[in-house]
Copies of this chain bind each other. A is one copy, B any other.
Amino acid sequence: MDDALWEFVVGAGDHWGTTYGLPPVAGRVFGWLLVCDPPEQTADDLAEHLQASKGSISTATRILIGFQMIDRLRIRGERADRFRLKHGLWEQQLLDPGLDKTRALLTQGLDALADSPAPRSERLRELDLFYAWYAERSPQLVEEWREYRRTHLAAKQEQATGGRGV
């Protein structure tokens, strides 16, 4: 890949890597899977393009699968597995950005403050309410995004692919 694309891959790896706490190579695998051709890459493809060892790639893919950011594919007639960005990743993220984990943490904090005067737990209570609101709201939000995409992306795809769709 050329330098400009490499810069993007590293930058994207760093960006989403920071967000999810990924090691550098895992971030880059994710970044590369955003722009590679074809979108389904073998471990060897990844190791070659990202100049990383097989071991790192194995660890990175395991981590990314754990975060549900990529899928492992078994292609009929091919020996090697392939990896691909998880379909519906952004929608899923919109629907549930780790709500359960965060709310469990807040519950833990509220329990720890159970014997304290009420005002002390006000910050946590507001935050808990915020997450409760979001959990309630997000399914509808996903629908709104789908509708928006239907109208906006479809038009662009039309031009780009001659209407073949994706």
Interface residues of A (CB under 8 A from B): 2, 4-5, 7-8, 11-12, 15, 18-21, 34-35, 37, 39, 85, 90, 101-102, 105, 108-109, 111-113, 116-127, 129-130, 133-134, 137, 141, 144-145, 148-149, 152-153, 156-157, 160-161, 166
Contacts and interface: CB of A to CB of B under 8 A. Distances in A.
A26 B123 CA distance: 18
Residue in A90, A111, A144 with the greatest tally of chain B CB atoms within 10 Å: A90
21 contacts: A4-B108, A4-B112, A5-B109, A8-B105, A8-B108, A8-B109, A11-B105, A12-B109, A15-B105, A18-B21, A19-B21, A34-B123, A35-B121, A85-B123, A90-B126, A90-B127, A90-B130, A118-B161, A122-B166, A129-B156, A130-B145
Given A5-B113, A118-B160, A129-B148, 19 more contacts: A2-B112, A7-B108, A11-B108, A12-B109, A15-B101, A18-B20, A21-B21, A34-B109, A34-B127, A35-B121, A90-B126, A90-B130, A122-B157, A126-B153, A129-B152, A130-B145, A133-B149, A137-B144, A141-B141
Nearest to A1: B112
A91 to B, nearest CB: 9
A149 B123 contact: no
Contacts of A157: 122
B19 A120 contact: no
A161 B112 contact: no
Contacts of A21: 18-19, 21
A19 B21 CA distance: 7
